[in-house]
Amino acid sequence: MTPHNPYNCFINELESIDKNNSLRSLKIIEKRDKKYIICNGKEFLNLSSNDYLGLASDRELLNEFYSKLNYNNIINSYGLGSTSSRLLTGNYMLYSDLEKKIAGTYNEVITNSDINIETEKKALVFNSGYHANTGIIPAITSKNDLILSDKLNHASIIDGVRLSRAGCFIYEHLNYEQIERLLEENRHHYENVLIVSETLFSMDGDIADINKLVEIKKRYNAMLFIDEAHAVGLYGSTGLGICEEKNLIDDIDIIVATFGKALASQGAYAVTNEILNKYLVNRMRTLIFTTALPPVTVNWNLFLMERIAGYREKRKYLQNLADKLRTALNNRGIKTKGKSQIIPAIIGENKKTVQISEKLQENGFLLFPIRPPTVPEGSSRIRISLTADILWDDIKNIPEIIKGSLNN
């Protein structure tokens, strides 16, 4: 009998992915220079970045940060190794400074005058948004609980739900009537209920109705978990996100945000009350069993958190730029979604989407096709991710290029 080749199933699946025009590969990025990027020896305008405020390649900002580097602080403030997990020797002073800064910033905008152990916000920093979502959700739920999660929530939330022992219902995207119906029928069967949603969804660029989610949470005595990954830095008077913009920070049990997007770094944080903060330190596996972030990263995160409130003009400019491009696309019959800095140009069919992305790249725009399973079947798209250092003249030709490619 011929031995079975264990790689045959992988080979067959890769061939199937390729035939469906969905095969992915890693791109080598040779150089970044502000809004431009060098890939395969060619310069592109970078429209596939999550660096929404344009801070990651801001040389003046980086020079200011590194100007304080000296012999005495090279290890504790700019070191490249944390040596262990936070519960051992990795929890250096910068972590405490950063968490106090985050919590203080959120507490400053809370309007609830009767702040106590259940309402005062505490912050906890993690290695990434993925660590946060895959760690928090299973830590705070059990087999006696129920999770309600938006259908278009990020993969990290989906994986966090899968790691939990709780029951789960996936509700249709932004369908709050369905949440209420599910709770009306099932709430009495469970001890605790956790409602999980992003604020700004990364593939559609649309925004959840946080007011409605808070209303449902209160009516059914549930907990509310909100992921602000694509909104922090961009919304709210001090840049804390849509929860701040809607004045709902004190009504939300868990707010997760990332440093890896508008804040141009690595890592994430959760804003909770003191009870949940302590509970996560004791029960969250992705916090307990991983090496801490290096000092230089935590220091950079603190450096940016101290400046986030001052980027009001960048936030306003970026929103106006997004509105202008979205309108230009719609005027040429190109379907878009959302109202944010993320603009999906919906093409539909995989092969055509790939062709259009190749045409855009020929014209110097770094834009990739987004296809299933990242998005639902039949909704392949070009995801245009705008940043605050891009000018209208840089992108004004995109609508016409897409329209021309659709008609060919």
DSSP 82-140: --SBIIIII--HHHHHHHHHHHHHHHHT---SS--TTTS-EEEEES-HHHHHHHHHHHH
Structure confidence at residue 1 (pLDDT): 59
Indicate whether 115 pLDDT > 90: no
What is the location of CATH 3.90.1150.10 in the chain?
22-53+312-407
Band of the pLDDT at 111, cuts 50, 70, 90? low
Q: Does domain 86-310 have CATH number 3.40.640.10?
A: yes
Radius of gyration of the chain (CA): 22
pLDDT at 23: 82
CA dist., res. 18 & res. 203, Å (int)? 22
Is the pLDDT confidence value at 405 over 90? no
The helix (run of H) or strand (run of E) holding residue 44 is strand 42-46
**Element housing 365 (H / E):** strand 365-366
> Which range, of 54-68, 75-89, 102-116, 258-272, averages the lowest pLDDT?
102-116
Q: In terms of CATH, what superfamily is 22-53+312-407?
A: Aspartate Aminotransferase, domain 1 (3.90.1150.10)
**Cross-strand pairs, 43:** 38
pLDDT at 116 over 70: no
Helix (H) / strand (E) containing 10? helix 8-19
Q: pLDDT digits over 142-156, tens only?
A: 999 999 999 999 999
Half-sphere exposure of 135 (CA within 13 A, CB side): 27
Sign of dihedral through CA atoms 67, 70, 76, 80? positive
Nearest to 48 by CA among 241, 234, 202, 263: 202
Q: Report whether 234 contacts 315 (CB < 8 A).
A: yes
Task: Specify the domain boundaries for CATH 3.40.640.10 within the chain.
Answer: 86-310
Contact 170, 376 (CB under 8 A): no
226 near 201, Cβ under 8 Å?
no
Has residue 408 got a pLDDT over 90? no
What is the model's pLDDT at position 325? Answer: 97
Q: What is the mean pLDDT of the segment spanning 235-251?
A: 96
